[in-house]
Every structure is written in C-alpha cells, then in structure tokens.
Structure 1
Amino acid sequence: MQVGTGQPSPTARGTFPGFSEEAGLDLPALTPRLEQQITARLISRDFDAWATTAARVGHCAKPIRLRGHSQTIDTRTGEVLSTFSSADAPLGVLHVRCGNRRASECPSCSRVYAADTFHLIRAGVTGGKGVPERVSDNPLVFATLTAPSFGLVHGTRNGRPCRPYTPKGLPAVCEHGGATVCHATHNEHDELLGQPLCRDCYDYRGHLVWQWWAPELWRRFTITVRRALARHLGVPESRLPDVVTVQYAKVAEYQLRGLIHFHALIRLDGPKTDDGFAPAPAGATAALLAQVIEQAVPGVTFDAPPMHDGDPIRRLGFGAQLDVRPIKTKNRTDDPDRELVPEQVAGYLAKYATKSATDSTKENPHLRRLRATIAEISDRIDADAREDGTPLRDNPYGLLGKWRHMLGFRGHFSTKSRRYSLTLGRIRGRRARFQRLVAEANRQGRTLDVRDLDDLLADDAQEATLVIGHWSYAGSGWETEGDAELAKAAAARAREYAQWRAAAFKAK
C-alpha cells in the first residue's frame, strides 16, 4: 500500500455529497454578530491562510497559539537539517491542537482522543501496535460496576412501568407528600428519567460523598479481586504475580441521575515477564475471573470521613446492579442477541471516555440541586477553614468546589493497568512520526511504503534527528467566535466523510 498526501481521491471527491459545491457547511442557529464574523472571515484576504491553519490542526475548536522557533538536528553529525519559526506559519503564529478529550469542548480533538483510546483498548484484546496477538487467548471479562441508590428515581425499566409497587417498608406517600410509586412507562427521551420521585427524600450529600470517593472504591476493588483470585488459586497473595496478573482498562460513564459507573475490560495474564502478556495458567479461566469479580464486589467498602463537624461517617460500596460477562460468550451487554467482537467492546468504552457530565446528563432541577449542594458544602468547608485557621487542603473535601462542573467526580475517565497494552503517549508518538514521514515524502516527491508499518513507526528513540524548540504561549482559541464555529462545522464535515468512507468500505 502506498501513501501520498492523504487527501481524498478524485473519485471520492466526486462521490461524497459533502464535497459538492451545493453542500454547504452545517452551522447552528447563529446570532447576527456571529454571522457577521463568519462572513468577514470568508471574504477576508487571509482566508486561505486561515483555512490552511485550520486544516493543519484538524479544525480544532480551541487551538493553542505559540510563538518561537525550532531546529531539527542530525544527532550523528550535529548538522542543522532544518529550521522553523512561527513567523513562517500562514497566520504568523503557530497553532497546535488543544487536545481536549470532551466532545462538548472540542469535537475534533475529542474524536482523536476516542480513536486513540479505541486502539489502546483494542490492542489489549486482540493484540497489535506492539502487543503480541497471543494476548487474545488470555481470559477476558467485561464488567460494569454501578453506584448504589440514594433515593427513588424514574427509569425506563426495559419498557415496564417505572415503579408500580410500593417499596418494602415505605408508604405510598413519603413524609414530604410525594408519591413513592410511578405507573408510567417512560421512553428514553422522557425528561423525568433520572429524576428523584421526591427531591427532599433524595440523599444528595451521600450521593456527593460516594462520587468523591468512587476512585478509592475502584482501587480497593482491584485489590480485593487480586486477593480473592489468590484464594481461589490456592496461592499466597504475595506470590500471586508469580502465577497470574490482573490487567484492566476502564472508563467512567455518567448515569442520568448524575452518578458515574465503571465499565471495564479485565484480563488475566500469566506471570510478569519482560515483555508482559504471558499466557494465563490452565486454572485461570474467564469463568473463574467472572466468579471472583461477582464475589468480590459486595465486599468492597470504604468508610468515608465526615465532610464537616456533625456530619456522619458513611460506609460506601458499589451498587447491587453488577454485570460481569466473559468475552468468550460473544454477547453484547447492551444487546444479548448481537455478537460481541473486540471492535464493539473497544468502541463502547472509547465512546464514554470522551464524555463529561454535561454530555451525558441534561440540565434539570435534580442536577441544579446537586450543584447547589456542592456549593453549600464548599462554602461551609471554606468558612470552617478560615475560622480554625487551617489550610483548606487539610480537609479531604477541600477541593470539592473545583469539581462542581463534574458533579463531584474527581477521577480519570479512562485508566488502565500498566501492562494492559501500550500507552496513549506511545500511540500519539507513532502518529506524530507517521505524519513527519508523510510530510518528508511529500517534500521529496515520493510515495511512502507502509506495508511494514510497525517497523516504519519504531519509537522516536531510534531516529537519528533531534528537534530543539523555544516556544512561548501566545493565547488560546481562534481570533473570533465565528472562526470557532467555522472550524467546528468543518470538523463535522470531516467526520461525515470518515463515516461515508467506512460505510463504502463495508459495502465492498
């Protein structure tokens, strides 16, 4: 296979509807001010320079602007091979991607992040990108760990009535006069989904405490699984790494009620080796791993410290809803009738890695009260710290207010164990190296042979050149909001083209 400029072929340009002159960019409802800014950009003398710059950063919505220069040096001879200055850039300043993973902030960079996460997760399932293919033979399960209940909420219940029966031990009407039953059958677009039946009964403080300590619960879950696995295999916990190791990749997803739950691929490998990914021993199976997880989750607890004087100590744990499925069953958890394949699992997890609280949950009275509770607790913690003269960092909830936009969740949305697969840094390094090789081939007027891609994309440490740069921060974002809207629209068209190409490839 040969790679040229990477631009769509003439045939693709003539077939994809988005490349026709009649297909304008889809822009949202614009204010007169934004319309004026966009019009001014389209008829400006430097539009070509702007368009070139936007294309180079993948139509990022909020690129970083830098000023400075760099030199490419041959490490063997010390010769300066090339130089670059921001003054030589089309707009006189260097623009680079913002790299934001959130689709609500930058659709273009979020798409790249999702693709990187997809390949990271997929490599740990089937191999590739430096991970040996034998890893696909190791036991693997797909687990979903949920949050506990902090009050009755409306739900779809798989097409059944929401809450047709009175909860055990509760009357049909709560102490605040609200109903504890709901006979409605909600569809997925119902605004009541995730809303408490009675917001005065809902435990908002307990909700926030659980959300704050969810990363600690996950850490304890991984420890508990390893201990339980050692017991099942009949080996001391200290010797478990000599027999089997537990690797995982997980993402966090917001539920409609504003709580996160964890989706994870958990794999059993053999003893630690230099390259990792050793075959699992005969007694370690996917069925055993699923059994261990199901038995371990109920025993994962954490006594959360009080938020302030008079606040109780809460014992936290995961919710009763637990889904653990061996991948070998070839069933999707969201659709049991469809076959589960590595690409679907990786895409499923990567999709949630790019979402934030605002992407997965709509603004509603429940979330407004949740944020108001965060503000109330933060104000009290701040006041107590000032009164006592103690640093805010000494309170375990001292930074809660800074995570208000994430509804109190302070953990990483996408994490993995060290030896699950390769790292995001290595994936990005391979992509950067490929782009440099393509650019060099274009400058020299030759095609690039990518049949041996892994050898071609060897680590940068094997390169004979060194890039030394001196850069300073010049700002963030485009010159106007109209420029940002144009960039987002162009990024959307690029996604449409990628989807069209994928559909055309499948149709062959």
Structure 2
Amino acid sequence: MSTTPLTIYRPGLAVGRDAQVLHRAASPEFSGWLEHTRPAGGCSRPIRLTGTITAVDRNTGRITRRLHTDELPDRTLYKACGNRRESVCPDCAWVYQGDAYQVVCRGLTGGKGIPASVGRHPVVFATFTAPSFGPVHHRHVPRHTCRNRQRCDCRPAPCRARSNAGACPHGQPAACFARHDADDPRLGQPLCLDCYDHDHQVVWNYFSGELWRRTKQAIDRHLAATCRQRGIPKVGIVTDSGKVRWVPPVRVSHGKVAEMQRRAAVHFHVLLRLDGVDPDDPDALVPPPTGITVDDVDAAVHYAASRITVTTPPHPDQPDGWLIAWGAQVDVRRINSTDGELTDDKVAAYLAKYATKATEATGHCSTRLTPATIDDYADPEGDHTARLIDACWHLGRPTPADTSSGAATHGDRQDSLDTKPNIYGGLRRWAHMLGFGGHFLTKARRYSVTFALLRDTRATYRREEDDQPTDAITVGTLTYIGSGWLSEGDALLANTAARQRRESRRIGREELAHEAWLLGAAA
C-alpha cells in the first residue's frame, strides 16, 4: 500500500464535504481504504491508533508477520469506540444491544454454552422502583384499550387532581388537572422545585447498587428458609481442600438492567431464575428441587423489597445519613408461565433496549463533568436536572477527612491515614449520571454467557471470514493518537458502506427465514 502523505480536510475549512468525498473516492487506494476502515465503518468517533501489529504462531511462538501502521491507509489503525450509549454512537450501541439481547435471552432459553434446560426453570421479571422524593407530573392510564403500548393513544387520567390541595409553602399549586400526552416535556418534572428533595434522590441513585445487593441476599435467605420449613435438605459440596460445605438446595441467578426514569431516578428491571445445586458439579445449571415453585420466588421478592433498607453514612449536611429503600410499587411477573404474562423474547428485547440508554430520558446527556465544565450544567436555582447535578457536586465536595482533597503534609500525614475518605466523593465523579455510578446491565456469574465470550466469538468468526489463520495470536503495540474520522467526507463514506453491509445482511437473514418457512410449509 502507498505511504504517500494524505491531504487531510477538516470541518470548517473552505473545502466542503462533497469535495472531501470526491477526493477520497478518486484516490487509487480508495478500495483498500474502505476495506481497512470496515471494522469501524459505522462508528461515529472511531479510535485512531499507531504502532506495530505482530502475528505469533500459537504453537511455535515464531513471529509470522509484523506490520507497522505506517504501511496502512492514513498511517493509522481504526477501531470502533465501543460506546454502549445510543446517543453517543448509534452503530456501536447497535452491536452492544445485540450482545445484551444474547446475554439476557441465553439465560432464559439456553444456547451458546448454556443448557436448554434453563428454559424450564422458574423465572420472574421484577421491577424495583425508587420512592417518592416529591410530587412530579405523571401520566396514568387507568384502563388501556390500545393494542400496542408502544403507540398508546388511550386517554390518561388527570395528573394530580386535588380539589382541596391548595398551594405548597413556596406558593406553587399542589395539584395538576392536565391530561399529559406521552411526549409532554412536563412529565417527570416536580410540581415545586423548591419542595423537591434533590439531595435525597441523588444519594438514592448513588447507593441503589448497595440496596440491590442486600435485597438479593434477602431473596436468597428467604428461599433457603422456605426450603428448611418444607424439609428440603441442604446439599453437601466438596471444596478444593477436601472439606464438605453445606449449602442451600436452591440459588437465584439474576440479570439486571437499570433504567433512568423521567424524574431522573433509576429503577431496576430484574430477571430472577431459580436454579438447583448439583453436589457433584456445583457449577452445573440444574432445575430446583421439587417443592420450590415460582410462587416462592414471587413471595421472596415481595418480602425482601418491603423489608430491606440501607442507612447511608453520616454527611455534614445529614448527620444521621439518608434512608435508602425501595418504592411501594414492586411489580413481579412470570416468564413463560401458563397464564402467558410475558415471553422470553419480549423480555430480552425490552432489557436490551434499555441497556443502551442512560440519562437521555431526562433530557441530559454529557460526558464526565470537571470543575471547568460543571458550571455549564449545575445550577441550584435552575431546572430539575440542573439542581440534581448541583446536588451531586455539592454533596460530593471534599471534606477535612477526605485524603483525596490534597496531599497531606508531613505533620498531618498520620491523621490522614487514620481517617476514612469521604464516601460521598464519588457523587462528583458520577454527576453526569445524576449520581448513579453502576453499570446499566449486570448479571450473576452463573446466569448466562458473558460479553467477553460474545466478543471473542465474533472476532473468531471475522478471522475465519477473512481467511486468517486461527492458530495465530495477534499482539499489538499501539498508541492512541486521536478520535474521530479525519474528515466529514471520510465519515460519510465509511458510515454509508457500513449501513449498506448491515442492510444486505438483514435482507439475507429475511430471505433465509422465508426459505425455511417455505420448506416447513411444503413438508
């Protein structure tokens, strides 16, 4: 490939995008460049790397090939950013959503190394919501008559019809008689910004992961107690040291997705699958013992949600800490049951969709905030989102006990070592996420396949598709040099080619499915 210098056209110069496209497409290396950028073709801001790529034989350790990025088009290696957020990179989010669907669905139906027998295990789909931090505008449909909830046009009830509500202490009306449309920007906004407890909400978002951890423990313990009451014995497992460890005969594997509500409080959608324990193979996925049903899982979820709370550590603004608990609305539905409440495909698609979302529902979307950018988003007298961000920044401020606020001097070094850092300091790190610092898709180790396995499978498929040797290990010594395409014309060409490839694959899948249907109908 040619290594002649490439003229780089940047946005804002006199040369327009059309000229950039013509310049790239007319170059002799255009086909090679298009193939070179294929792995990052649809990415909005691909990562550009420079360095050496070495192929090593897996069996002998001999170097079979060495390539420097100076020999590649643009003298750089393009890699997709891999961002899961649809608002940041739609193409990478599309790939992540497909992986998320597989992670969730394999835990319900089996496949990709998960036995198909898990499809017969009791499973519930539970939704855990945050409590109220103040009245907000909401849309409630008492009775649905529509066929598709995604396009619901049913008449909603009045938002907060209170004939004798009067006004709040700040003079704002405590009632709302409007029937909000689904796209009404007032949905999720407090009736009174001054009455709303923004501090408590961001702290709830921050500690919601700990609340879920304790809730999961309570569900496991409740099911273990149910087994004892019904005379189902524990299972003895031989450890690596040769000792026998007695464990409950059932365990719950979960897959969890966090969703940001319009009021900017997270709530969790959780799949809870009941598994048994095989004493000969503790890692095997086996059905639960007879006597424990989906009704027991349902009861364990409601029991844990109504009793588990977390009291946060003291804070200068709240010496007794904040109480972190679930809201009153805990919805539990059964998957693939005889009453047909929900199917595994619908649930997997629903959770995969929310795995690519973040704070977009609140109208806020930004990267991590810093002291230089915080003033652009935080305002104690601003709108709902601005006050939440300000609460994160204010509550996460350094305290005298926070050793991260600055380097300790020789005289107070021992005092700093004896004092715990400010546990609320992470609120500043996650201010752009309105306090929530957890991952939006998590799962138990035994629930399903991993994202790493799916990525490795995809990489192996691409190597085989490109006729690359599968017994070779690729070692890259690469350095980051920038993000984004070199010009708007390059972005247009690469993204268009990626969309065409994706469309051709979709059409191919549809044709194969139609052909299989015709063969089945003929048989």
Q: TM-score, normalised by structure 2?
A: 0.77
Q: Counterpart of 2:240? A: none
Kindly indicate whether residue 473 of structure 2 is the aligned counterpart of residue 466 of structure 1: yes
Q: 1:112 to 1:241 in 2, by over 3 A?
A: farther
Out of 257, 269, 273, the position equivalent to 1:267 is 273
Gaps of at least 5 residues in structure 2 are 1-9, 142-155, 236-244, 365-381, 409-415, 518-523
Q: Counterpart of 2:520? A: none
Asked if 2 retains the 8 angstrom alpha-carbon contact of 1:102 and 1:356, the reply is yes
Shift of 1:395: 0.3
Kindly indicate whether residue 170 of structure 2 is the aligned counterpart of residue 176 of structure 1: yes
Name the SS for the 1:257 alignment partner. coil
Q: 1:181 to 1:429 in 2, by over 3 A?
A: same
Say what the alpha-carbon RMSD is for the aligned residues: 3.2
Q: Counterpart of 2:157? A: 160
Q: Which moved more, 1:402-411 or 1:63-72?
A: 63-72
CA distance in 1, matches of 2:508, 2:480: 37
Out of 347, 351, 366, the position equivalent to 2:349 is 347
Q: 1:50 to 1:81 in 2, by over 3 A?
A: closer
Asked if 2 retains the 8 angstrom alpha-carbon contact of 1:37 and 1:480, the reply is no
Shift of 1:499: 5.8
Shift of 1:116: 0.8
CA distance in 2, matches of 1:271, 1:298: 28
Q: TM-score, normalised by structure 1?
A: 0.80
Superimposed CA distance per residue, residues 62-89 of structure 1 (whole angstroms, 9 cap, x where no aligned partner) = 2222222233333334444434332332
CA distance in 1, matches of 2:159, 2:14: 45
Q: Counterpart of 1:39? A: 18
Asked if 1 retains the 8 angstrom alpha-carbon contact of 2:123 and 2:274, the reply is yes
CA distance in 2, matches of 1:387, 1:61: 38
Asked if 1 retains the 8 angstrom alpha-carbon contact of 2:20 and 2:488, the reply is no
Name the SS for the 2:273 alignment partner. strand
Superimposed CA distance per residue, residues 216-272 of structure 1 (whole angstroms, 9 cap, x where no aligned partner) = 011011101011111111179998844111101111000000011001111011115
Shift of 1:377: 2.8
Name the SS for the 1:71 alignment partner. strand
Asked if 2 retains the 8 angstrom alpha-carbon contact of 1:263 and 1:349, the reply is yes
Shift of 1:420: 0.5
CA distance in 1, matches of 2:89, 2:282: 39
Asked if 1 retains the 8 angstrom alpha-carbon contact of 2:50 and 2:69, the reply is yes
Asked if 2 retains the 8 angstrom alpha-carbon contact of 1:251 and 1:349, the reply is yes
Kindly indicate whether residue 184 of structure 2 is the aligned counterpart of residue 190 of structure 1: yes
Shift of 1:399: 2.2
Shift of 1:60: 1.3
Out of 449, 458, 461, the position equivalent to 1:434 is 461
Q: Counterpart of 1:111? A: 94
Asked if 1 retains the 8 angstrom alpha-carbon contact of 2:21 and 2:493, the reply is no
What are the residue-to-residue correspondences of 1:14-413 with 2, within 5 Å? Answer: 33=12, 36-45=15-24, 46=27, 48-158=31-141, 159-165=156-162, 171-234=165-228, 241-272=247-278, 273-308=281-316, 310-329=318-337, 340-357=342-359, 359-363=360-364, 365-379=383-397, 381=399, 394-413=421-440
Asked if 2 retains the 8 angstrom alpha-carbon contact of 1:142 and 1:324, the reply is yes
Q: Counterpart of 2:441? A: 414
Asked if 1 retains the 8 angstrom alpha-carbon contact of 2:128 and 2:330, the reply is yes
Q: Counterpart of 1:27? A: none
Gaps of at least 5 residues in structure 1 are 1-30, 444-462
Whose helix proportion is higher, 1 or 2? 1
Identical positions, percent: 39
Shift of 1:498: 5.8
CA distance in 2, matches of 1:34, 1:135: 59
Q: Which amino acid aligns with 1:220?
A: R
Asked if 2 retains the 8 angstrom alpha-carbon contact of 1:382 and 1:398, the reply is no
Q: Which amino acid aligns with 2:353?
A: K
CA distance in 1, matches of 2:234, 2:323: 26
Superimposed CA distance per residue, residues 111-153 of structure 1 (whole angstroms, 9 cap, x where no aligned partner) = 1111111111111111111111111111111111111100000
CA distance in 1, matches of 2:181, 2:512: 35
Q: Which amino acid aligns with 1:99?
A: G
Shift of 1:484: 4.4
Q: 1:330 to 1:295 in 2, by over 3 A?
A: same
Q: Counterpart of 2:376? A: none
Q: 1:98 to 1:330 in 2, by over 3 A?
A: farther
Asked if 1 retains the 8 angstrom alpha-carbon contact of 2:214 and 2:308, the reply is yes
Shift of 1:397: 0.8
CA distance in 2, matches of 1:193, 1:240: 51
CA distance in 1, matches of 2:401, 2:222: 44
Aligned residues: 448
